């Protein structure tokens, strides 16, 4: 799922559309509010960047100089820097494509500048091959929430929803769905429902149900890398369930940008044609390709430890909220299915974000980042997303509980 990002550089979940400004508002008042928002944004960025203890220090929150230094330091370990730079997808970009095909066990893979483009191309290609323009997917899936209706507006595709429950559809829901569809798209994990995954057996059954209906299966695997521990399977076995899969290079692997579409050689060749038509045949992409290769070497092997530590962090958070006397809380899912999960509290999003900023400023501990108003549930309920990365491995359960207590004190 190729997420949008908010103004603090954090991945932003689905949120209600901004309300239109009332007519005739004073321009100076708007400017003043804009200046205040910019000042608050800068304050948040500085507080979280200066924090000494974090659960993850996302590369997108590093300075330009820090990112360039890291890229230069790691590039020599993943490729020969004396070779020519890439031109229109050869060189290091082609090397990355070959690496992805081997990692996922597919015939071929193609690099795309964005996951949004990769996934739209995949679904368009399958619609042409099946002769059915209908795509079955979850209403919380990325194309439905974050792409401004692109599947219909750009490719003329139509979407239907076998379930609206905050989970992937079941096999029975696929079998019982009242109208035909050509492609079933499964987002693994389903991010906007809380990074949730089915069991391996449930996933196999869903795919089998789609096959019974003569539908192809495409996996939105933007975060597929961290799903293997939950399923207890290696990446090629997971990818083999589907006819195609897309993976992201920046969400989990810490890359600069970019994604890959993997699948049968004939599909990938067709996808390359559509990539060109969509404007994705970029002249040079070596920084993104190098960063992706570095992430595959440095982050991918660490993901099982991040997933395991996320379970420790989630459990300690729940204990901490209970001990601190939180009026209500929810850690979801508990335990987490990946190294990411949600936390819910009965306070306004602005209040919770302010407490998180103050904690970082006053203690050097950044337990949470931005909070968002819940799209459903009682008014005044908010949630945040927690990601455990390399830095989070240093936290003990006691560290988490102490941080929760300090956070709740700032709410009081």
Average pLDDT, rounded, for the chain: 92
Give the mean pLDDT of 180-185: 98
**By C-alpha distance, which of 355, 354, 341 is closest to 383?**
341
Whether the predicted pLDDT of 137 surpasses 80: yes
Euclidean distance between CA atoms 331 and 344, whole angstroms: 6
pLDDT for the residue 1 = 45
pLDDT band for position 19 (50/70/90)?
A: very low
pLDDT digits (tens, 9 = 90+) for 264-304: 999 999 999 999 999 999 999 999 999 999 999 999 999 99
pLDDT at 121 over 60: yes
| Cα–Cα distances in angstroms (integers) from residue 407 to residues 89, 101, 366, in the given order | 48, 44, 9
Residue 269: how many other CB atoms lie within 10 Å: 12
Spell out the alpha helix ranges (H) of 177-260.
200-212, 228-231, 235-239
Higher-confidence position of 7 and 63:
63
pLDDT > 70: what percent of the chain?
94
Rounded Cα distance, 8 and 402, in Å: 26
Residue 35 has pLDDT above 90, yes or no: no
Q: 115-130 vs 265-277: helix axis angle to the nearest 10?
A: 120
First to last CA, the chain: 36
Using alpha carbons, list the distances in angstroms from residue 254 to 192, 251, 297. Answer: 20, 6, 11
Pair 134, 180: CB distance under 8 Å? yes
**How far is Cα of residue 405 from the mean position of the Cα atoms in its chain?**
29
Rounded CA gap, 352 and 372, in Å? 9
pLDDT band at 167 (very low <50, low <70, confident <90, very high): very high
Question: The domain 302-411: what is its CATH number?
Answer: 3.90.1150.10
8 A C-beta contact, residue 195 and residue 341: yes
DSSP annotation of 394 reads G
Give the H or E element holding residue 34.
helix 27-50
Q: What is the DSSP letter of 257?
A: S
Task: Fold for 68-297, please state it.
Answer: 3.40.640
Residue 311, Cβ neighbours under 10 Å: how many? 17
In this predicted model, what pLDDT tens digit does every residue of 67-110 receive, in sequence order? 999 999 999 999 999 999 999 999 999 999 999 999 999 999 99
SS3 126: helix
> Which one has a higher pLDDT value, 310 or 41?
310
Residue 256 CB partners (closer than 8 Å, separation 6+): 67, 71, 249, 250, 287, 288, 291, 292
Q: Which helix (DSSP H) or strand (DSSP E) does residue 383 occupy?
A: strand 382-387
Question: pLDDT at residue 15 above 60?
Answer: no
The β-bridge partners of 111 are 260
Q: Where are the domains of the chain?
A: 68-297, 302-411
Question: What's the farthest any 2 CA atoms get from each other in the chain?
Answer: 61
Residue 185 is predicted with a pLDDT of 98
Closest CA to 180 of 205, 199, 162: 162
What tokens were used for 98? 């070959």
pTM: 0.91
Q: How many helices (DSSP H) and strands (DSSP E) are in the chain?
A: 15, 13
Q: Flag whether pLDDT at 390 surpasses 60.
A: yes
- For residues 1 and 104, the model is more confident at 104
Strands, DSSP E only, in 224-286?
244-248, 259-263
134, exposed or middle or buried, with CB in 10 Å at 0-12, 13-18, 19+? middle
């Amino acid at each position: 799922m190729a997420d949008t990002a908010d103004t603090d550089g954090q991945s932003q979940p689905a949120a209600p559309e901004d309300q239109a400004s009332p007519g005739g508002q004073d321009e100076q008042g708007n400017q003043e509010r804009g200046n205040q928002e910019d000042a608050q944004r800068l304050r948040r960025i500085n507080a979280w960047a200066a924090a000494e203890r974090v659960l993850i220090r996302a590369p997108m929150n590093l300075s330009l100089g820090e990112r360039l230094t890291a890229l230069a330091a790691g590039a020599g370990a993943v490729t020969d820097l004396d070779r020519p730079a890439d031109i229109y997808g050869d060189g290091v970009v082609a090397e990355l494509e070959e690496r992805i095909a081997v990692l996922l066990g597919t015939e071929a893979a193609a690099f795309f500048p964005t996951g949004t483009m990769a996934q739209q191309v995949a679904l368009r290609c399958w619609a042409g091959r099946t002769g059915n323009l209908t795509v079955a997917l979850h209403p919380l899936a990325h194309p439905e929430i974050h792409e401004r209706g692109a599947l219909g507006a750009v490719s003329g595709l139509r979407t239907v929803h076998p379930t609206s429950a905050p989970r992937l559809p079941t096999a029975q829901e696929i079998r019982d769905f009242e109208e035909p569809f050509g492609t079933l798209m499964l987002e693994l994990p389903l991010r906007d429902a809380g990074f949730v995954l089915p069991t391996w057996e449930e996933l196999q059954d869903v795919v089998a149900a789609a096959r019974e209906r003569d539908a192809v299966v495409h996996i939105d695997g933007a975060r597929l890398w961290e799903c293997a521990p939950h399923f207890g399977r290696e990446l090629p076995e997971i990818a083999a369930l589907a006819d195609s899969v897309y993976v992201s290079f920046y969400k989990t692997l810490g890359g600069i940008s970019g994604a890959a579409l993997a699948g049968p050689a004939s599909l990938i060749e067709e996808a390359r044609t559509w990539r060109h038509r969509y404007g994705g045949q970029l002249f040079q992409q070596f920084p993104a390709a190098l960063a992706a290769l570095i992430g595959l070497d440095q982050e991918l092997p660490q993901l099982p430890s991040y997933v395991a530590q996320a379970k420790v962090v989630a459990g300690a958070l729940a204990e901490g909220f209970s001990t601190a006397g939180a009026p209500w809380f929810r850690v979801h899912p508990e335990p987490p299915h990946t190294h990411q999960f949600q936390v819910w509290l009965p306070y306004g999003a602005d209040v919770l974000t302010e407490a998180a900023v103050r904690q970082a400023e006053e203690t050097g501990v950044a337990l949470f980042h931005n909070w968002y108003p819940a799209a459903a549930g009682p008014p005044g309920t908010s949630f945040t997303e927690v990601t455990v990365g390399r830095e989070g491995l240093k936290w003990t359960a006691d560290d988490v509980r102490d941080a929760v207590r300090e956070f709740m004190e700032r709410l009081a």
